[in-house]
Amino acid sequence: MPKNPRLAASSSTEDRAPLATPEDIATYLGVPVKTLYQWRHRRIGPNALKVGRHLRYRWTEVDEWLTAQSAYDLTA
């Protein structure tokens, strides 16, 4: 077992993207930050994590949510 488990874990997380802030996601999606908070309240937006009292997003989940939004058939 390594003496410092944090050092061992950090080497496997080097390729992870950092968590995104609501401001990052709002810029990425081209919507106001307030819209993200409304989507979260209505449970229709991308999944957000609470880190302490702050909201953070995983980029992979935002991209999956965005892909699911474009999967709707609008020709019905």
**50-71 pLDDT, tens digit each:** 999 999 999 999 999 999 988 6
Looking at this protein, which amino acid is placed at residue 64? E
Instruction: Read off the tokens for 54.
Output: 């702050």
- Ramachandran angles phi, psi of 3, nearest 5°: -65, -40
3-47 pLDDT, tens per residue?
A: 555 555 555 566 778 999 999 999 999 999 999 999 999 999 999
Give the angle 44-42-69 at the CA atoms, nearest 5°: 15
pLDDT at 2: 54
How would you class 15 by CB atoms within 10 Å of its CB: exposed for 0-12, middle for 13-18, buried for 19 or more? exposed
